[in-house]
Structures are given as structure tokens and as C-alpha cells.
Amino acid sequence: MPEFFLVESFRVLVERRYNATGDLVTVSEATVKVDVDGEKLISVGEGNGPVNALDQALRKDLGKYSPFIEDLRLADFKVRILTSGTDAVTRVMIESADGKGNRWFTVGVSPNIVDASFEALSDSIIYKLLRDGAPAPVKQR
């Protein structure tokens, strides 16, 4: 399977604060660093939660693959706890959809809910690229 992009790192910040009008708000910001066929790209996204911010950042700029994911959207997001306790292993299942009405599911599993979510998000993008016939990267890793 082609490795369309390599995620070098990601970071998510969640801040709860009072805004300028005195309302208590929670804001999430994500930074994603990817390598797309030798081109290093850094994107930042904001969202109403860490998963939304990661989704925004990851899809903001994937270089030559960006046109293939313009109509991609998150249709559903489910979290299941596989073990008990606050250190539980988490399974995240994402249902994605595109402008043609296609739907598919991807899964991420990790003790870290953000990591599991990111795994499912990136797999969703990879599946869409593969299904829609995106060109394989020139440089193979």
C-alpha cells in the first residue's frame, strides 16, 4: 500500500479560559507535521475539541493530495473503553463520508484517546486517497 504521507508529529493544546466577553470557553488547537513525497508541511487547526482540531490541521494541507480530500467529512465518532480504569485502552471508530455519498469506517486503538482518534482520522484519509486513485508518492520510504 502506498504511503501517501508520513506524520512526523502532532501536538494538541486544550485551553479553558475566559474570553473577551467574560464567557468561559474551551478552545483546542492542533499542529501536525507531515512529509508528503519529500515535502515537509506544517499545518495548524482550531476546533471545538482536540479531535476536531486535529482533523482541521491534518486536512488543511496535504500538498498534492489536498484536492482528493476536499469533500471528506467526519460523519460519526464513537469511543469505546476496552479495559477499565483511567489508564484504559480506548477504541475510536470514525465513520467518514464524501461528496459522492460514499461512507466508510476506520478504527484507532491506543491507551491515549487522542492518539487513537488521530490513527482513525489519518487512516480515513489514506483509505479515501487509495479508493479514489490518488497517485502513489514518487519517493518510497
Q: Indicate the residue type of 3.
A: E
Q: Which residues of 127-140 are buried (b: 16+ CB within 10 A; e: fewer)?
A: bbbeebebeebeee
What predicted TM-score, i.e. pTM, was given to this entire model? 0.90
Count: domains in the chain: 1
Does residue 1 form part of some domain?
no
Q: Which residues of 9-32 are buried (b: 16+ CB within 10 A; e: fewer)?
A: ebebeeeeeeeeeeeeeeebbbbb
What does the pLDDT read at residue 141?
58
- Residue 16's domain is classified under what CATH number? 3.30.160.270
Does residue 36 form part of some domain?
yes
Range of the domain at 57: 6-131
Does residue 19 form part of some domain?
yes
In tens digits, the chain (141 residues) has pLDDT values of: 889 999 999 999 999 999 999 999 999 999 999 999 999 999 999 999 999 999 999 999 999 999 999 999 999 999 999 888 878 899 999 999 999 999 999 999 999 999 999 999 999 999 999 999 999 888 765
Contact by Cβ (8 Å): 119, 87: no
| Residue closest to 49 by CA, chosen among 97, 110, 99, 113 | 113
Does residue 38 form part of some domain?
yes
